[in-house]
A and B are shown apart, each in its own frame.
Chain A
Amino acid sequence: MKSWWSSVWPPVVAVLFFLAVWQAAVSLWDIEKYILPAPTAIGHEAVSGASDLLPHALATLKLTLIGFIIGATIGLVISLALHMVPFLKTALYPLLILSQNVPTIALAPLLMIWFGFGMLPKVIVITLVCFFPVAVAALDGLARTDRTMMNYMLMSGATSWQIFTKLELPHALPSIFSGIRIAATYSVMGAVIGEWIGSDRGIGYYMMLQKSGYRTDRVFVAILIIVLLSLMMVLLITLLEKRLIRWNRKK
């Protein structure tokens, strides 16, 4: 408990210090509210605007979860397919890596043209940003199976299905989870970008709206909510990971 506290208080103090400097700077130089609102003003706006914000936050959360689940699932399926069929891996893996040079955000307007302003194009954006880290991490984990354990399984006459389920998959699980964790934070970003480009609800939409009205304090509130959503996703994944990976891998 004591050591936990000793690792927690320095960043907390750092954040408080940063906020204090911000607050002091705003009042000292009398900075206009539409340029940089003080932390207290943002806090005030967050509380008073909470009821307006809640539906937007929920809409973004829903979009994020749907896109994340679809994206992560597709990433896993791709990695398993490439792992099980080595020819597919040699053929497609370089393309997979190359595909990441296309900035997904650049595709978003195109997706809006093709699929309209509904949920579909946004889910596709999130899927595109989510599948890649999962697929690459899973492929990497599956390819790094411990050689001695593999030899043991082969010499014991394990079938390839047994090798996959009893060795490769559990061995790759920590690696898969690190990919999923990255995808979880990306998914929030994907959702917000999707909403920027075309939507009538969600935090991204709210941000754009408030930006037009120079309500900088509300833009800050929106950023705060995005950060909280990201943290929530990571927390969710970490809890899931703790449940699934009971053994302690110390390296």
Chain B
Amino acid sequence: MTHQGSQPLQGGHGQSQTLTSCAPALEVRGMQKTFRDRRSEIHVLNNLSLQVRPGEFVSMIGPSGSGKSTLFHIIGGLMAPDAGSIFMDGQDVTGAQGRIAYMPQQPALFPWRTVEDNVLLPEELRGTSKAAARASARDWMKRAGLAGFEKAYPHTLSGGMQQRAAFLRALMSPQEVMCLDEPFSALDALTRSDMQRWLLDIWEDTRRSVLMITHHIEEALLLSDSIYILSARPGTILKRVEVPFPRPRRDDMLTDPSFIALRTEISAIMREEQHKRGSYLE
């Protein structure tokens, strides 16, 4: 499963070309959100802006409680922002549902559906016939190491396999932008690094536009084209980091001095943020 990224790119275009002028696949502008109840106000997002260009893999990294999941809920149209807007391909889609392919933190596969029917769910929601999508779903499942589990129910799968199925479900969604909410946070370290490698290979073949939340600096560096570092609450962008490494990314990148330098720099920013706010233990 962890082949070394030696496959030729089917997308064929390198990073520098994908990042050209056309409208961002996803743009968040001036996002503000405060949760209020009778007693208290929690200011969660403060003038947060970011961009995901077509075919770009973008990560958001930040301390717990910096409003990352709230941002996803706003992008997905589950809640309205107090101010700010979401643009996709230059169109204002603030509050619209069904514009993103979403992978939640828990796999949230439907236990009454077989793995295959879970992966085909987005097709069903779109109203296209499952039969037409079945062949490509089978293909992807084979690549995800899920061959032979098509008719199995999710609870019979390991955590890593469930996550892969949940990822495929997002991948099979017709929406261009994928939003991954800490996709690997529930996995053990070994499975996690396997899954990162696997995701990297699949993504480098498909080149969807991705916005991923993570806590994990190395994961962000390994996978992303650019990284947004979030502040503690109220969440705002502290810094945007371009990740300069060429694609396909290789495993030996992890020991590259410039990789280590970048990792150190990001972790210094994050540590400083946590100290400043003293909010990590919330």
Contact = CB atoms under 8 A, between A and B. Distances in A.
A39 interface: no
Contacts of A2: none
A245 B101 CA distance: 29
B68 to A, nearest CB: 14
Interface of A: 146, 148-149, 151-158, 162, 166-167, 170-171, 173, 245-250
Contact of A166 (B99, B102, B124, B155): B124
Contacts of A162: 124-125
Interface residues of B, number: 26
A155 B153 contact: no
Nearest to A155: B76
Nearest to A174: B112
Contacts of A146: 108
Nearest to A249: B111
A154 B96 CA distance: 10
B99 A157 contact: yes
B73 interface: yes
B173 A156 contact: yes
A80 B179 CA distance: 33
B125 A156 contact: yes
B110 A167 contact: yes
Given A152-B104, A155-B76, A156-B121, 16 more contacts: A146-B108, A151-B73, A151-B104, A153-B125, A154-B77, A155-B78, A155-B97, A155-B102, A156-B125, A162-B124, A171-B112, A247-B111, A247-B112, A247-B155, A249-B111, A250-B155
B97 A154 contact: yes
A157 B126 CA distance: 9
Contacts of B173: 156
Given A152-B102, A156-B102, A248 B110 contact: no
A151 B110 contact: no
A154 B153 contact: no
A158 B99 CA distance: 11
